[in-house]
Amino acid sequence: MEYNNIGYEREIDLKELMFVVLRQWRLLLAAAVAMAFLFGGYKAVSTWFREFAPKESVDAESKYKKEMEYYEQKLLTGEREVENLTDSIERQREYLAESVFINMSPYDIWEAKADFFVETDYEIMPGMAYQNRDFTATVLQTYQSALSGTDFIEEAAEFCSIQARYLKELVTISIGRSDEGYNNLLSIQIRHREEGKAKELLEKYIEGVYQYREKICSSIREHTITEVNRSLGAQVDLGLADRQRSERAQLDSLMENLAAKEESLDALNKEEVPQKDVPAVGALVKTGVKYGILGGFMGIFGVMFFICIHFVMSDKVSSARELKYRFQFRILGNLPDGTSKKGINPIDAWLSKLEGRPQRKDINREYDLIAVNILNAEEKTGPIFLTGGAVQEKIDDVAENLGKRLPDVTMVSGGNFLSDPESLKKLPQCECVVLVEQCGVSSYGDTELEIEKIRDLNKKLAGCILIGS
């Protein structure tokens, strides 16, 4: 058989490369586990020392105290704001319910009014550089202050069975003014939703005017006070309606603010409570697992990379297909390695099924096929020399099994004649040569040299038997 591998370029079969990688699943698994433990353990230990070393623990404690103080201050402020808003709402509700002024109809207001003229003994002295002081303004302001003071309001409120704070809204004490100053008028205005109450209150305030007259005369200045006008009638005040809407809107605003503050306070109680940094075993385990998985993938891809590089760069025989297309000779048969005495691993069996390889070979049937292929390739019955790069024991075993099936053919077993002189001596004595190569042991370079040697001696090459494919 002639062969010619001039210009041969090796083609990488991606499917073959993939299964070469997958069949090293034990190595991939070992690398993944080792890298997972190394990378994950290193990350967990380094995190522990970085976050829970003594210095970091002191800093974390100080930080926790500051955060806790700030949180407690925020909590106290929020509780105080809620308390103040609650109190304001209650007061506003009470005011809206009990205030006479707020509950009056803007279209039915009874107004009682009285005007007084106050006169002192002040006279202008023509031609005199010195003029007497005019106490009219002081007297008027004193009446206004006395009638608006707490003592008289309390007295009037008790007289009318109304709270003093609600009475203040019904009474207006004013002093008449002009461009030149005060115009000696003191006005008392009472507004109420009931005609009788308005009149009754006005009478009480008129009584108060005369009640304070003697005291003001003795303490400030002698004067006369004369009632010049008194009136009682119904009024319409649309401005009151605006005031009432404003007060009710104020209650709505307070309630909205209270709801917002309570929601904020609840969130503060539930979510923003500072947590003290303690050695979180769960977090460390989570970190270790996360980086362990990452390390496992790194280990797998690293080993896969080196397996691929080794496959591409290696010169060792790996498959019958590569032998056939590289040297263009006949593959007489494929024999199992036979080194493993245990059953086929389920994973290896699954990979063989995916690759299309038979899971278990009948070795006797395979030897029968090889024997027939040899007879078809060799017309003469001269000695057949079995040699090659396989282990000597493997070659002897093949020669023994083929000798039983071909009793008429002499089988001569020899080692690798490239390195064994005794085997090289047997080569010229035989008519035909069968190479026995072994995956992972024989090399393509040695196989090429073997073929060249056989050709130089003008011996016939029947083909090749591959072990371990």
Extract the tokens encoding 154.
Answer: 């309390």
| Mean pLDDT, all residues of the chain | 81
Separation CA 186–CA 179 (nearest Å): 17
- Mean pLDDT, range 449-460, rounded to an integer: 86
Class (C level, CATH) for 317-467: alpha beta
Maximum average pLDDT range among 93-97, 293-297, 420-424: 93-97
pLDDT at residue 120 above 90? no
Write down the pLDDT at residue 128. 46
Separation CA 446–CA 463 (nearest Å): 15
Comparing C-alpha atoms, which of 432, 382, 375, 441 is closest to residue 406? 375
Comparing C-alpha atoms, which of 133, 94, 140, 86 is closest to residue 116? 140
416 Cβ partners below 8 Å, 6+ apart?
A: 387, 388, 389, 423, 446, 450
Give Rg (Cα) of the chain: 59
Write down the pLDDT at residue 275. 64
CATH code 3.40.50.300 region(s) in the chain: 317-467
Task: Count the neighbouring beta carbons within 10 Å of the beta carbon of residue 355.
Answer: 13
pLDDT at residue 144 above 60? yes
Q: pLDDT band at 123, cuts 50/70/90?
A: low
- Mean pLDDT, range 204-215, rounded to an integer: 91
- Mean pLDDT, range 111-126, rounded to an integer: 78
pLDDT greater at residue 51 or residue 131: 51
Q: pLDDT band at 84, cuts 50/70/90?
A: very high
CATH 3.30.70.1130 is right for the domain spanning 108-123+133-235: yes
pLDDT at residue 253 above 70? yes
273 Cβ partners below 8 Å, 6+ apart?
A: 71
In angstroms, what CA-CA distances link 307 with 19, 232, 302, 314? 11, 112, 9, 10
Write down the pLDDT at residue 125. 47
pLDDT at residue 130 above 80? no
Residues of the chain with pLDDT > 90: what percent? 16
Residue recorded with tokens 């691929």: 308
Entry field: residues in the chain? 469
Q: What pTM does this model have? A: 0.46
- Mean pLDDT, range 21-25, rounded to an integer: 80
- Mean pLDDT, range 245-258, rounded to an integer: 91
Separation CA 332–CA 265 (nearest Å): 87
Maximum average pLDDT range among 206-210, 301-305, 327-331, 356-360: 206-210
- Mean pLDDT, range 180-187, rounded to an integer: 77
CATH code 3.30.70.1130 region(s) in the chain: 108-123+133-235
Write down the pLDDT at residue 8. 55
Write down the pLDDT at residue 131. 45
Maximum average pLDDT range among 179-193, 201-215, 427-441: 201-215
Q: pLDDT band at 207, cuts 50/70/90?
A: very high
Maximum average pLDDT range among 206-210, 307-311, 325-329, 422-426: 206-210
- The C-alpha angle 17, 23, 29, rounded to 5 degrees, equals 115
Residues of the chain with pLDDT > 70: what percent? 83
Maximum average pLDDT range among 18-32, 42-56, 124-138, 251-265: 251-265
Q: How many CA atoms lie within 13 A of 226 on its CB side?
A: 6
Extract the tokens encoding 265.
Answer: 């306070």
Write down the pLDDT at residue 56. 52
